[in-house]
Amino acid sequence: MLPFMKLGLNRKTGLNRFLTSWKSPEDPTPGNCSYRIDPTGYPQLLLYKDGDPYWRAGSWTGDRWSGVPEITRAYIFNISFVNDPDEVSIMYGVIDASIITRMVVSESGSVRRSTWHDGDRRWIEYWFAPKDQCDFYGNCRPNSNCNPYDAGQFECTYLPGLEPKSLGDWNLGDGSAGCVRRGGVSVCRSGEGFVKVARVKVPDTSKARANMSLNLKECKEECLRDCSCTAYASASESLGGSGCLTWHGNLIDTRTFADSGQDLYIWVDAIELARYRKTRSLSQKATAAIILVSIFTALLLASPFLYLLVIKKRKGYNGICVVVSETDHRSHNPLTIKDRDDGPRGNRDVPLFDLSTIASATNNFSVLNKLGQGGFGSVYKGIMDNGLEIAVKRLSKLSGQGAEEFKNEVRLIAKLQHRNLVRILGCCVEEDEKMLIYEYLPNKSLDAFLFDKTRRSLLDWRKRLEIASGLARGLLYLHQDSRLRIIHRDLKASNVLLDEEMNPKTSDFGMARICGGDQIQGNTNRVVGTYGYMSPEYAMEGIFLIKFDVYSFGVLLLEIISGKRNSAYYHENPSSNLAWELWKEGNYEDVIDESMGDSCSKEEALRCIQIGLLCVQEFADDRPNMSAVVLMLANDDVALASPKRPACVFKSKHHGTNLSASDGTASLNDITVSTVEGP
C-alpha cells in the first residue's frame, strides 16, 4: 500500500478496500492474511489470518490507532480518517513528498512499514506488527490485561474487580479461561464506581457503543446509568478527549504500553471501589509524608555545604558532574548530581557517592571483594552501612574509557528502566577516580555459567530460552520502546548479568549510542567493541546500525544454545562457520549443548538456531529487527525465513590488533578493539 491509497468501506456501494498478502514470496495470488477496517460497532483496524483476528491496531483516537501509539499524524504522515454514513476509511499521505513509503502484509502474518533509501537503493523497515506476545489478538482471553514488560512473569493480569476463572491454571501460567467478576454478580446502583487502568489499548470495539457528543464526565454518568456497562473510555484522545465508548460485556484484547496508550475505566462494585480508594489514599499519604520529610531533611543537611558548592564554581570546577545538593559525607547517603552537558531538561538525578564511602564498602577495594576484571577496569562487591549490596565498576586510570564514555554510561543508564537492563545506583567522581555503582547481582555474568564445564549444567533448556527472550526484550526496549533510541554496541556474554532468579540484565553502556527518533544508522571513525560480536558493516566500515545489536544477539543466542564461545565456530578458514555448516547439512543437533540433556526440546532448539543464523546474516537488510526476534522467540506459529550465509569479519583491516591463536583456531572472543582510521 502506497501513500494516498485508501483503506476502508464505502457504505453506499459496498466497495471494501483492504490489503491482502501474497500466498508465498514467489506466488502473488491472494494469501491467507488481510488488513482491513471492521465497521461493526465502533470501527477498528485488524489484521486477519485464516479469517480470524490475528492482530488489532484498534480504534481511531483522533490522531492514531489505539494499538499503534508510536505512529501518529505528527510522524511522517498526513492521516485522513473518515467515519460517516457514507464511508469509513483511512488514507495515509506524507508530509514530505520526497519520502517514499509503503505498507506490506506478509504471508506469515505481519504488517510492515518501510521507506525507500535512495542512496542505498533499498527499503528500510521502520515499523512492524505484531511485535510481542501481547499483540496477538486475545492473548490473555476475556477480562484480563496483557503486560509484556515484566520478564520472567506471566504476562496476563486480571483487571480491577475481576479474578481468574480458574485460579489453579492461572498460577501455572495458563490464562485460557479468562477472568470473571469477583464475588459473583454485584448489585447495581449501590455505590459502584470505576477504577482507571492507564496506558492501554482499549478492548475490542466491535460490540462497543459510541456516542461522539459526550465528554468523559458524561460518559461516566452514561455508564453508571446502565447496569450492563462494564467499562468506558474516551473515543478521541486529541484536543483533551471527546466522544464516549462504553462496553457491555466481556473486555477482549486489552494490553499495556510502556509510555503511551489510553485510559480505560473499569466498573467495580462498592466493596472493590472502597478497597481501591483506601489503597490509593494510603499511598498518597505515605508519599506526601516522605516528600515533606525528605525536603526538610535535605534543606537541613544541605545548608552547611552550599559554601563549598560556591567555592567549586568560582574555582572553575571541571568535574563531569556538578553537585546540586549534598548530604552528610560521613554516611552512605548519596550526593545528588546532574550532568553539566545535558542541560536542564530531561535529566534524571544520579546519586554521587564520595570516595571514602565506596572505599569503606569495598574494604578499600580489597582483592577479596573483587568480582572480575574488564577492559576498562575492575568490578568489586561492596556492602553499604545499611546492608545494601552493591557492585562497583572502578575505571582504570590507564583505561581507554575516558570522560566521554563514563559520562555516556551514567547518562544512558539513568534514563533507562527495564527489567532486563542493569540498574545504576550512582557514581563516584573524586580526584582521579571514576566509578559506577550498580545493583549487585549475585550470579555474576552469563559467561561464568555458559562456558564453565561444571556450572553450565545449571542452565537447562527452559532457563536458557528465558535468558535469550529476556535479552531480546531488553534490546527491543532500547531500540524502540524507551524514550531514547539506543544502540548498545557491546552485547556479549560477559556483559549479561544474572540476578538471584537467573533473570538476565544487559550491562556496560559505555559504548552505546543514542539515535534520533527516526535515525537507524550512524558512522564513526573510532571502531570499538569485541571481535566475534561485531557486525561486518561496523568492523569494516565503521557504520553502526540498529541491526548491529541484532548481529551481536544472534552470536550470543548461538552461544547460549551451544555452550561454546563464538570462537569455537571459526576454523583455520574463518569464513567457514561451524554452526551454519551443521545447520545447512541437517546436523543441527551437534550444535546443542549436551549438558542440557533431556531438558532440551530439539524442535525449539532448532528454531532458535535458525533465529540465531537469521540474526548473523552478512547484510544488515537481511537481518530481522528486534521486534521480529522477540516475536519469533515467543510464538512458534511465526514462520521463519531460510537464513543466508552468515558474515565473517576478517582481522586484516584492523592493524596492530593482537589476536591469540592456539591449535589452529583463531580466538575472536572478548578482544576489545579501538581503531582509528584516517587519511
Radius of gyration of the chain (CA): 27
Evaluate whether 559 touches 450 at the Cβ level (below 8 Å): yes
The greatest distance separating any two alpha carbons of the chain, rounded to the nearest whole angstrom, comes to 81
Residue 279 grid coordinates: 489503597
Contact 210, 190 (CB under 8 A): no
Integer angstrom CA distances of residue 193 from 5, 271, 273, 275, 320:
44, 10, 6, 12, 52
Q: Is 23 annotated as a binding residue?
A: no
Task: Indicate the length of the chain as a whole number.
Answer: 679
137 and 172 in contact (C-beta within 8 Å)? no
Distance CA 426, CA 328 (A): 16
Alpha carbons within 13 A on the beta-carbon side of 480: 24
Long-range contacts: 173-178, Cβ < 8 Å, 24+?
A: 175/140, 175/141, 175/144, 176/141, 177/141, 178/140, 178/141, 178/142, 178/143, 178/144, 178/250
Whose grid coordinates read 553537585? 323
Provide the grid cell at 255: 494490553
What does the DSSP 8-state code read for residue 175? Answer: -
Which grid cell sits at 148?
Answer: 509484556
Give the closest residue to 502 by CA, choosing from 550, 548, 446: 446
Q: How far apart are CA 617 and CA 247, in angstroms?
A: 47
Say if residue 640 is exposed, middle or buried (CB neighbours under 10 Å; 0-12, 13-18, 19+): middle
Helix ranges, 325-460 (H): 355-361, 403-414, 446-450
Backbone angles phi, psi at 370, to 5 degrees: -75, 125
* Distance (Å, whole) CA 535 – CA 538: 5
Task: Look at residues 436, 412, 558, 580 and name the one whose alpha carbon lies nearest to residue 489.
Answer: 412
Beta bridge partners of 311: none
CA angle 514, 520, 525 (to 5 degrees): 70
Name the residues annotated as catalytic: 490
Binding positions for ATP are 393
